[in-house]
Structure 1
Amino acid sequence: MLQWAFILLSCLEVVLLALVIVFFQRLKRSESVLNALQDKQQNLLNKLDFNARLEEQLVDTFRQRQDELINLAEDIERKSDELRELIKQAESISHSPRTKRQAVLNAYRRGMKPRDIARSMNLSVDEVELMLMETGSR
């Protein structure tokens, strides 16, 4: 009977040893899976950090572009104001009698008839002829 107990205990020890081996193998597999997950988690964190830095750079670049556009809009507005002033000056010069007289004389010297000059410059024929007489061209 003692032999059967000894054999039974030996069999139980072998079964326990086999269970311990299986447990350690599964533990080793779980450890490798856990390491792989940790590596993937670290990789994900690195990518998230990279994406955050990239997003920050994009926002900074966008902010710079907005500032540049604001400056350009201000420059355009300033240039527009300057052009309006120049147009006003040009219009005042073009409406001066001296400028009209010179334009009429130039057109007459190019061979245009007084009637054609009057029509193109929005003047009456009498005004054109008077200007031509004053300059001695007629």
Structure 2
Amino acid sequence: MSIIVKFFVAPSHEAAAAVVDGGPERAFESLEYGNFDAEQALIEWESIFTSRSFEELTAADEPEAVAEPDGWEGPVVFAVSKALQDALAVADQPRLAEVSRLWIQERAADGKAFDKEIATRILSDLARLARGISGRDHRLYCWTA
């Protein structure tokens, strides 16, 4: 479980990895959330958007860790996959609400409760960030601590 989750846009893996120790807010615009497993959420969201299985995505090493100092004991930076980034960028509000609902169902099946409004807001905010990348050679990243 991540205590702090921050999503941000950076021009490269190297630039994103450079903020692993202090977080992205000084270098990049970021969105901050807390108290959910961001790595698992990224996999589940991509699975829902693309219909690829959770197992297939983990076998493909999604999401890609671009910085994981201290043997996964400290902050980590993940690159959001291009497939998820692209799916977020084109998703309309009804699709984001549907993905939120399906994600909440997956979390509930594992005994975890997640508020529908918060889930939809997270995905809507991420979609807005992803849309802002259009035409730029940037990626969406996730920093967790």
TM-score w.r.t. the length of structure 2 is 0.20
Higher helix content, 1 or 2 = 1
Q: TM-score, normalised by structure 1?
A: 0.20
Q: Which has the higher strand share?
A: 2
Greater length-normalized contact order (CA 8 Å, ≥ 6 residues apart): 2
